[in-house]
């Protein structure tokens, strides 16, 4: 085994405050050279040739910035890129295949975006040479005899063009000025962009300024610009963020239509239904987030996703997770109402804004239930949750009055407070307890962020803190607006499992606004479907069981799901296929018939 040591997040390392115990307690010293020493910048660095992986430095570090990980020795020859001494390393790369859509699956922080930047030519791989002496010629040598040799040779000489849709689309609204029409025209080099705008439902936004677009509108705009720029290789990094169910599969159809014998497409996302629908083959990334990532594959799309759910990769003979992610084959059974236990009730309400009106019928859910709110963007789901959160009053002046409500907003607000301060204030005495620590903080890897301020966090980190803040509070009603945004598959599974436990153990009411049908499949016991005309009129249907709710939603979208015979995960049927026609005739769009 090879010892891999990383000093993580040096901005949190404070050697002047801790007295550098990691150095003082490090036992290995050979020929006068210490395994841990202070570098010229005043921060410690690790000599990995001397480190024996004893773990003392990790235990002595008060700021938890050091991680020790054992890596199989054979991966030493497969290092593609390293960001610095004891910093993140990426082993191996996925490769593109002309005429196919190649998917990339993996946890956040395991190198998907790094791999995409290398494959797009934005980042030159250094193969561990931190002096920057390696380049595309070295890539040709390292990958000789593989499909990547010709790719990097052509990329380095400018013979292929790559168009990359970045992950952090929110930066575009700050950096770009002008109308949607102007941006698409520039991306298309003055050509006709009408067809792409129609396919991605952007026509009604053409005269709108980029700075006022919503997250979903901005996402579709960036996807359209990526397509219009053209190229021999198109790369889409997390294209479903902020999109509703209908928009996700519309985007999937558009991406699949881009494939040709002369063009390759690469896609990464955390929505497994989307990835299964859009991909022909899949690479899986595993490793320790922010420490190292290893690329495994390629697998067929079905096999790769199933291996990822199982947590075992046969090509590498590696089990990278100690649990498998399982699915419900049938919707949960209706539970009898508890006598003497009041449920969550709301009266019939209407809420009118300029150009938009929402109508919600009278409804209720029993204690211990998780209500998933489903529907397209701009249909009033967030407005409904804000009415329940007592942040809005309806048209009649009614403001609901609930005893204790914990609310996670759709867009968490950065604040100049540390993560620990925020979570301690929310959880109170429960902060040090087993539930908050073992069910929320450690599974979501927040223990290393405790000293960081919220206004210094990334979008995904801020999202996780906001979720834990809401679920840490003691309340009768928990309202979570789009908690899966920016989270990877495993983090979504952790959140779904915790939501179900809180509802069952605390007999709490939980309302969940979500676009990821698989998270709803994990967590919810009831569904409330919103329909109407987005941005104009929204109508809510009464709460119903999961089977009826999924059928109501998917019937309107015209999408059916079959079940994988191994993992039981839902897979999208090809429109017009035999199974698609049969399920539409029987009215079973998602769950198996009883």
Question: How does strand 2-7 pair with strand 29-30?
Answer: unpaired
Nearest residue to 461 via CA among 338, 290, 243: 290
For 27-46, write each residue's pLDDT tens digit: 766 555 677 777 766 777 77
Strands (E), 107-198: 162-165
Q: What is the pLDDT of residue 74?
A: 46
How far apart CA 261 and CA 37 sit, in angstroms, is 54
Lookup: tokens for 130: 């931190």
> 77-161+231-312 domain in CATH 3.40.50.300?
yes
How far apart CA 251 and CA 217 sit, in angstroms, is 12
Superfamily of structural domain 344-544? P-loop containing nucleotide triphosphate hydrolases (3.40.50.300)
Give the other-Cβ count within 10 Å of 21's Cβ. 15
Label residue 338 by pLDDT band (50, 70, 90).
Answer: low
Residue at token pair 């910035």? 65
Question: Range with the lowest mean pLDDT among 228-237, 250-259, 325-334?
Answer: 325-334
pLDDT (average), residues 232-260: 91
**What DSSP designation does 593 have?**
P
How far apart CA 41 and CA 134 sit, in angstroms, is 24
Q: What is the pLDDT of residue 341?
A: 52
Q: What is the pLDDT of residue 1?
A: 39
Helices (H) and strands (E) counted in the chain, each on its own, are 21, 29
Give the other-Cβ count within 10 Å of 582's Cβ. 13
pLDDT (average), residues 536-545: 93
Instruction: Find out whether 57 and 25 touch, Cβ atoms under 8 Å.
Output: yes
Against a cut of 0.95, is the pTM above it?
no
Q: Where are the domains of the chain?
A: 2-71, 77-161+231-312, 344-544, 558-594
How far apart CA 447 and CA 311 sit, in angstroms, is 24
Question: How does strand 79-82 pair with strand 29-30?
Answer: unpaired
Instruction: Find out whether 1 and 72 touch, Cβ atoms under 8 Å.
Output: yes
Q: What is the pLDDT of residue 73?
A: 46
Question: Range with the lowest mean pLDDT among 101-115, 129-143, 217-231, 399-413?
Answer: 129-143
> 2-71 domain in CATH 3.40.50.2300?
no
Two domains, one topology: 2-71 and 77-161+231-312: no
**Rounded (to 5) percent helix, strand, coil in the chain:** 35, 20, 40
For 462-481, write each residue's pLDDT tens digit: 999 999 999 999 999 999 99
Looking at per-residue confidence, does 72 or 87 come out higher?
87
Lookup: tokens for 391: 């942040």
Instruction: Find out whether 5 and 46 touch, Cβ atoms under 8 Å.
Output: yes
């Amino acid at each position: 085994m090879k010892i891999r040591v990383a000093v993580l997040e040096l901005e949190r390392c404070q050697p002047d405050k801790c007295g550098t115990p990691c150095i003082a307690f490090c036992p290995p010293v050979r020929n006068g050279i210490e395994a841990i020493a202070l570098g010229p910048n005043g921060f410690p660095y690790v000599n990995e040739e001397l480190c024996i992986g004893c773990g003392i430095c990790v235990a002595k570090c008060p700021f938890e910035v050091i991680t020790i990980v054992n890596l199989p020795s054979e991966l030493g020859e497969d290092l593609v890129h390293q960001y610095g001494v004891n910093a993140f390393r990426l082993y191996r790369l996925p490769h593109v295949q002309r005429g196919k859509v190649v998917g990339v699956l993996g946890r956040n922080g395991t190198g998907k975006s790094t791999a995409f930047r290398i494959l797009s030519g934005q980042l030159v791989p250094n193969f561990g040479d931190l002096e920057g002496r390696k380049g595309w010629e070295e890539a040709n040598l390292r990958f000789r005899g593989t499909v990547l040799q010709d790719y990097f040779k052509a990329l380095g000489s400018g013979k292929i063009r790559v168009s990359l849709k970045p992950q952090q689309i929110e930066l575009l609204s700050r950096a770009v000025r002008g109308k949607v029409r102007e941006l698409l025209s520039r991306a298309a080099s003055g050509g006709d962009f009408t067809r792409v705008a129609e396919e991605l439902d952007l026509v009604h936004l053409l005269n709108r300024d980029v700075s006022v677009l919503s997250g979903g509108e901005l996402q579709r705009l960036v996807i359209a610009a990526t397509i219009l720029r053209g190229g021999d290789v198109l790369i889409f990094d997390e294209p479903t963020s902020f999109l509703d169910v209908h928009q996700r599969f519309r985007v999937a159809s558009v991406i699949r239509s881009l494939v040709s014998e002369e063009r390759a497409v690469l896609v990464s996302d955390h929505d497994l239904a989307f990835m299964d629908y859009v991909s022909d083959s899949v690479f899986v990334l595993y490793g320790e987030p922010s420490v190292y990532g290893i690329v495994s594959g390629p697998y067929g799309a079905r096999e790769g996703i199933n291996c990822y759910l199982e947590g075992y990769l046969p090509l590498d003979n590696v089990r990278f997770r100690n649990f498998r992610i399982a699915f419900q084959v049938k919707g949960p059974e209706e539970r009898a109402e508890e006598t003497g236990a009041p449920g969550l009730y709301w009266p019939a309400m209407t809420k009118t804004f300029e150009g938009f009106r929402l109508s919600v019928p009278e409804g209720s859910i029993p204690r211990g239930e998780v209500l998933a709110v489903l529907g397209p963007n701009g249909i009033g789901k967030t407005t409904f949750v804000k009415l329940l959160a007592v942040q809005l009053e309806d048209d009649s002046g009614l403001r609901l009055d609930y005893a204790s409500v914990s609310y996670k907003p759709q867009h968490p607000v950065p604040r100049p407070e540390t993560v620990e301060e925020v979570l301690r204030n929310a959880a109170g005495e429960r902060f040090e307890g087993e539930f908050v620590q073992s069910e929320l903080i450690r599974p979501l890897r927040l223990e290393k962020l405790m000293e960081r301020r919220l206004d210094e966090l990334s979008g995904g980190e801020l999202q996780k803190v906001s979720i834990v803040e809401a679920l840490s509070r003691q309340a009768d009603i928990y309202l979570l607006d789009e908690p899966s945004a920016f989270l990877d598959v495993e983090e979504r599974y952790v959140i779904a499992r915790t939501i179900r436990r809180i509802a069952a153990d605390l007999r709490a009411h939980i309302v969940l606004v979500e676009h990821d049908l698989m998270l709803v499949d994990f967590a919810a016991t009831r569904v409330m479907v919103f329909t109407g005309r987005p941005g104009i009129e929204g109508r809510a249907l009464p709460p119903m069981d999961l089977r009826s709710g999924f059928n109501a939603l998917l019937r309107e979208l015209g999408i059916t799901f079959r079940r994988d015979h191994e993992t039981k995960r839902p897979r999208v049927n090809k429109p017009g296929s035999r199974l698609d026609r049969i399920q539409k005739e029987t009215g079973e769009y998602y769950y198996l018939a009883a």
